[in-house]
């Protein structure tokens, strides 16, 4: 009968426990830690206007998964990964619903996915990394379907605020557009990171004219609509920015001691992506010279804002040095040499690595690696490193290891000609904190620096990826 059938049906169903999500108290702690620790280094959520709702439920869960990493216990991190895995399945099962609804819900889903990608990149789990890289193109397609790539600048419509009427509505409407711009910026940054990690061409085009233009940092963190309006009016009256002319717009105009961190980040990541694309084709001397010029131009534009470590909490100079290392060496080769594909090395790879060590490019690369180490040594232990820092520090360690292992006893230790350091202020700043500027000589090179880098990776931040890189070194 039907009662017996219902009993059979219930026996076939798995026994469900209410353990899909942790307690509300735990989730609240995760949310607070996210905005205190992660939001400053990757600001794609407009914190002043963020309120949990049915529309942004997926985003809230993604925030909790990242916030769990900052609790400081293995159990909390495991809960965060559990949320991350369940959230991925939920998004894959219902993404078309959010895309078709559009508006706030589509944006919240895109933000949730962008944060989920970040979690997968930093978790240190190879399966998480492979999954996020595999779905990266899918996420870009979703953003295109939702019309997000048509938005480039959130301040184009805000330029015409003539009255205080419905100011709160205007502020929230602007914040939604700015969040869209920042999601696009995050996708470009991730695209560059994936290209570098997996040694392939980027999926997005990273020409400056195509990149999203984020507003200045102070405007994004304005806590009220009135503060936001005051800053908008100040922007219209401010002097032209020191940022590159091809990027000049109202949204990037700098106020006193202000700059758009995300713009600097996206531009530099774009240069890194372009280097990866060139490596997949033919990277010749003319292209290297062009990339050197573009990287130096970036540095000169943003140098006043990030001169010292205390003024560069996002470690953009570290990414700048990493870009030059990518210009001077093929990291795919270095990874093969240290055993990524097995303990046996091909004769061709050994010959290439010995040639690189003896060449000027190898010496330049070592200097950039030492400057990355020096810069990150100055990072306070309480500071949360930016998402590119673990890979950059590991890359520096990889360069130093290969240089120490394969250099000959007759390797030069004298002056090294490094045009990008000679033409910038990096060398002079380094000289202020060092007896001898590393831009001038390799005499400072010490293989024991590799152990210091390993220790720094093991102690720095909450990303398990850092610990995994430390174990490899």
For residue 46, being part of any structural domain is answered with no
Rg (CA), the chain: 24
For residue 29, being part of any structural domain is answered with no
> What's the rounded Cα separation, in Å, for the pair 391 and 3?
60
For residue 206, being part of any structural domain is answered with no
Per-residue pLDDT of the chain (473 residues; tens, 9 = 90+): 677 667 766 666 555 445 668 888 999 999 999 999 999 999 999 999 999 988 889 999 999 999 999 998 889 999 999 999 999 888 888 888 888 888 888 999 999 999 999 999 999 899 999 999 999 999 999 999 888 999 888 877 665 555 666 888 889 999 999 999 999 999 999 999 999 999 999 999 999 989 999 998 899 999 999 899 888 888 777 644 444 444 433 333 333 345 688 999 999 999 999 999 999 988 899 999 999 999 999 998 887 777 767 778 889 999 999 999 999 999 999 999 998 887 777 888 899 999 999 889 999 999 999 999 999 998 888 889 999 999 999 999 999 999 989 887 665 555 677 878 876 565 544 444 443 444 445 666 777 889 999 999 998 888 899 999 999 99
Q: For the purposes of burial, counting CB atoms within 10 Å of the CB of 197, is it exposed (0-12), middle (13-18) or buried (19 or more)?
A: middle
For residue 439, being part of any structural domain is answered with yes
For residue 365, being part of any structural domain is answered with yes
- Using H for helix, E for strand and C for coil, what is the string for the chain? CHHHHHHHHHHHCCCCCCCCCCCHHHHHHHHHHHHHHHCCCCCCCCHHHCCCCCCCHHHHHHHHHHHHHHCCCHHHHHHHHHHHHHHHHHHHHHHHHHHHHCHHHHHHHHHHHHHHHHHHHHCCCHHHHHHHHHCHHHHHHHHHHCCHHHCCECCCCHHHCCCCCCHHHHHHHHHHHHHHHHHHHHHHHHHHHHHHHHCCCCCCCCCHHHCCECCCHHHHCCCCHHHHHHHHHHHHHCCCCCCCHHHCCHHHCCCCCCCCHHHHHHHHHHHHHHHHHHHCCCCCHHHHHHHHHHHHHHHHHHHHHHCCHHHCCCCHHHHHHHHHHHHHCCHHHHHHHCCCCCCCCCHHHHHHHHHHHHCHHHHHHHHHHHHHHHHHHCCCCCCCCCCCHHHHHHHHHHHHHHHHHHCCCCCCCCECCCHHHHCCCHHHHHHHCCCCCCCCECCCCCCCHHHHHHHHHHHCCCCHHHHHHHHHC
Report pTM.
0.88
Alpha-carbon separation of residue 258 from 11, 154, 322, 399 (angstroms)? 63, 18, 25, 35
pLDDT tens for 67-120 read: 999 998 889 999 999 999 999 888 888 888 888 888 888 999 999 999 999 999
For residue 30, being part of any structural domain is answered with no
> What pLDDT, on a 0 to 100 scale, did the predictor assign at position 12?
63
For residue 393, being part of any structural domain is answered with yes
For residue 115, being part of any structural domain is answered with no
Write out the residue range of the structural domain in which residue 465 sits.
282-473
pLDDT tens for 388-446 read: 999 999 999 999 999 989 887 665 555 677 878 876 565 544 444 443 444 445 666 77
Alpha-carbon separation of residue 323 from 14, 196, 421 (angstroms)? 51, 10, 13
Question: Which residues are bridge partners to 415 per DSSP?
Answer: 441
> What pLDDT, on a 0 to 100 scale, did the predictor assign at position 6?
72
> What's the rounded Cα separation, in Å, for the pair 253 and 210?
18
Look at the chain and report how many structural domains it folds into: 1
> What pLDDT, on a 0 to 100 scale, did the predictor assign at position 163?
60
> What pLDDT, on a 0 to 100 scale, did the predictor assign at position 429?
46
């Amino acid at each position: 009968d039907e009662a017996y059938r219902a009993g059979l049906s219930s026996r076939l169903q798995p026994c469900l426990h209410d353990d899909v999500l942790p307690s509300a108290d735990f989730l609240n702690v995760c949310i607070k830690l996210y905005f205190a620790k992660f939001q400053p280094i990757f600001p794609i959520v407009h914190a002043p206007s963020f309120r949990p709702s049915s529309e942004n439920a997926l985003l809230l869960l993604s925030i909790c998964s990242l916030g769990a990493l900052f609790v400081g216990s293995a159990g909390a991190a495991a809960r965060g990964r559990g949320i991350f895995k369940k959230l991925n399945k939920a998004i894959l099962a219902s993404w078309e619903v959010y895309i078709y609804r559009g508006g706030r819900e589509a944006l919240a889903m895109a933000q949730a996915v962008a944060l989920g990608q970040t979690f997968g990149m930093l978790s240190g789990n190879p399966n998480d990394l492979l999954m996020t890289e595999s779905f990266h193109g899918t996420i870009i397609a979703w953003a295109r379907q939702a019309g997000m790539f048509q938005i480039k600048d959130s301040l184009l419509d805000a330029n015409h605020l003539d009255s205080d009427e419905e100011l709160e509505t205007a502020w929230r409407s602007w914040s939604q557009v700015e969040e869209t711009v920042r999601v696009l910026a995050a996708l470009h940054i991730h695209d560059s990171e994936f290209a570098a990690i997996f040694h392939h061409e980027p999926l997005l085009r990273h020409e400056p004219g195509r990149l999203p233009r984020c507003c200045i940092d102070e405007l994004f963190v304005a806590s009220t609509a009135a503060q936001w309006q005051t800053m908008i009016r100040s922007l219209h009256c401010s002097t032209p920015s020191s940022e590159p002319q091809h990027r000049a717009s109202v949204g990037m105009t700098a106020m006193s001691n202000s700059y758009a961190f995300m713009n600097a980040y996206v531009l530099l990541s774009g240069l890194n992506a372009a280097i990866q694309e060139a490596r997949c084709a033919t990277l010749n001397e003319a292209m290297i010279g062009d990339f050197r010029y573009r990287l130096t131009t970036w540095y000169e534009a943003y140098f006043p804002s990030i001169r010292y470590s205390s003024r560069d909490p996002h470690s953009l100079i570290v990414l700048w040095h990493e870009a030059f290392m990518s210009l001077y060496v093929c990291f795919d080769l270095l990874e093969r040499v240290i055993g990524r594909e097995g303990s046996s090395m091909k004769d061709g790879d050994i010959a290439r690595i010995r040639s690189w060590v003896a060449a000027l490019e190898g010496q330049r690369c070592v200097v950039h690696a030492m400057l990355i180490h020096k810069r990150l040594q100055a990072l306070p232990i309480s500071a949360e490193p930016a998402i590119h820092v673990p890979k950059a520090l590991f890359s520096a360690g990889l360069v130093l290891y290969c240089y120490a292992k394969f250099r000959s006893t007759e390797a030069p230790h004298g002056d090294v000609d490094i045009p990008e350091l000679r033409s910038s202020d990096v060398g002079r700043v380094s000289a202020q904190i060092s007896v001898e500027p590393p831009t001038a000589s390799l005499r400072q090179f010490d293989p024991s620096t590799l152990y210091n880098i390993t220790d720094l990776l093991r102690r720095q931040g909450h990303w398990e990826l850092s610990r995994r890189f430390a174990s490899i070194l």
